[in-house]
Amino acid sequence: MIPDRITDAEWLARPAVQAIFAALDGRDGRTRAVGGVVRDSLIGRIREHADIDMATEFLPVTVMQRAKAAGIAAYPTGIEHGTVTLRLDETTVEVTTLRQDVVTDGRHAQVQFGTDWVADAERRDFTLNALYCDADGRLFDPLGGAGDLLNGRVRFIGDAARRIAEDGLRVYRFFRFSASHGGEQFDAEGLAACRDAADDLEHISRERIGSEMMRMLALPKVGKTLGVMDKLGLLCIEPGALPALLRYEAMGGRSAISRLALLGREGLERRQADWRLSKAVITKADRVAEAARLLRNGDLGWAAYRFGEDAVEGLAVAAAEQDWPRERLSEMARDLGRLPVAPLPVNGADLENRGMKPGPEMGAALAILERAWVESDFSLTKDALMERIFH
């Protein structure tokens, strides 16, 4: 049975949300919540602090006027596209005037404002994203998206090739939603359209691709999807990485950083360029990959000492790469957790106070002390360490 309304949704009962609906005639159906917050409320998968989007018949200037009259802060954050951001108490809502595409070039669209709810729905990407509800939670589903949602079907609205031609990023969104809401099953028409478009996506912003990919890599189940994308040339997976990715998710892993490490340390620099990932993200993935290398070799102390908490994810990565039995992973995790990791208690100033000058000799001495410290499981005292150098 397809429900006809949303019930027990915290965000919908929130006084601030109801006040925004009231300011924009939400009970009369002139303003409705739309998209992810409606979709995921229907299946009980709403995220904490989920974005709240609304669609309205009112023009942006009218939205701002009505909001201000009701004591709601209004900001013209995307007014050229019909979007106004409203804020009341701790709640932020993006309100966009109903629209339809007039001209599209695969990246940008010229839109025309209107009051046609069906036309607004038809310009969206997938049927499960063209779901609306009013202030009372009553569902408005002009394209049958609720049925697709409940059946785990990610289906382009209308002609799949045309939807992709309007915005090439929809290829990546097709795979992300197929993983998150479709059980990694792929609508045949949508998959064929993505295959046909795969070689013609160079115009898409790399930042937008990177954002989609990082969201995809954080999903509970995505290994099969990544394998399909690899076959279509949308993703380059190094030999042996896909089985490791599948083992990682079978273990319950869902870290995007760890999946980056599993995709291959050698490819991190290329992915940084292809997806415009931040240096911080790449550095962390590299740390996890290096921690995994140490742990594969049994160097728990060095992994913990050099990489701290990143060694925990490194352990999961190492286990997935080498297909460790569960017993070995549990034992390694216990051993890693027991290590009383602490900074080296000797520094250059201590050596200098004993007459050693800064330079290569001091660097070599600190390396000796560091190794002794780690190999002692961080148990040697400062005096015992100094005795290693000045005996």
Neighbours of 135 (CB within 10 A): 20
Query: Picking from 26-35, 280-289, 381-390, which range would have the lowest pLDDT averaged per residue?
Result: 381-390
| pLDDT tens readout for residues 124-145 | 999 999 999 999 999 999 999 9
Res 343 pLDDT > 60: yes
Q: What is the pLDDT of residue 110?
A: 61
Provide the sign of the torsion angle of the four alpha carbons 204, 207, 208, 211, taken in this order.
Answer: positive
Q: How far is CA 362 from CA 306, 355, 391, in A?
A: 20, 10, 16
Cα separation, 73 vs 322, whole angstroms: 55
Res 248 pLDDT > 90: yes
Cα separation, 190 vs 226, whole angstroms: 16
- Judged by DSSP in three states, 84 sits in strand
170 vs 80, residue with greater confidence: 170
Res 102 pLDDT > 80: no
Q: What is the pLDDT of residue 168?
A: 96
Q: What is the pLDDT of residue 364?
A: 93
Res 106 pLDDT > 60: no
Averaged pLDDT for residues 60-69: 96
- Rounded mean pLDDT of the chain? 93
Q: What is the pLDDT of residue 391?
A: 76
| pLDDT tens readout for residues 302-313 | 999 999 999 999
Averaged pLDDT for residues 197-216: 95
Banded pLDDT at 339 (limits 50, 70, 90): confident
Cα separation, 333 vs 251, whole angstroms: 14
Averaged pLDDT for residues 25-43: 94
- Judged by DSSP in three states, 91 sits in strand
Q: What is the pLDDT of residue 1?
A: 78
Report which DSSP code applies to 133: E
Banded pLDDT at 372 (limits 50, 70, 90): very high
Res 109 pLDDT > 60: no
Banded pLDDT at 330 (limits 50, 70, 90): very high
- Judged by DSSP in three states, 136 sits in coil
Query: Picking from 1-5, 23-27, 313-317, 348-352, which range would have the lowest pLDDT averaged per residue?
Result: 1-5
Structural domains of the chain, ranges and CATH numbers in brackets: 1-149 (3.30.460.10), 152-235 (1.10.3090.10), 259-338 (no CATH), 348-389 (no CATH)
Instruction: Count CA atoms closer than 13 A to 325's CA, side-chain side.
Output: 3
Q: Quote the crossing angle between the two packed helices 326-338 and 300-307, to the nearest 10°.
A: 60
Q: What is the pLDDT of residue 240?
A: 87
Neighbours of 251 (CB within 10 A): 14
- Predicted TM-score (pTM) of this structure: 0.88
Banded pLDDT at 108 (limits 50, 70, 90): low
Banded pLDDT at 101 (limits 50, 70, 90): low
Res 105 pLDDT > 90: no
Q: What is the pLDDT of residue 111?
A: 66
Q: Using an 8 Å Cβ cutoff, are 222 and 249 in contact?
A: yes
Cα separation, 172 vs 176, whole angstroms: 6
Res 381 pLDDT > 70: yes
The token pair that represents 88 in the structure block: 């009341």
Q: What is the pLDDT of residue 9?
A: 93
Main-chain phi, psi angles of 214, to 5 degrees: -70, -35
Res 107 pLDDT > 70: no
What are residue 53's DSSP bridge partners? 34, 94
Burial class for 165, CB neighbours closer than 10 Å (0-12, 13-18, 19+):
middle
Q: Using an 8 Å Cβ cutoff, are 130 and 142 in contact?
A: yes
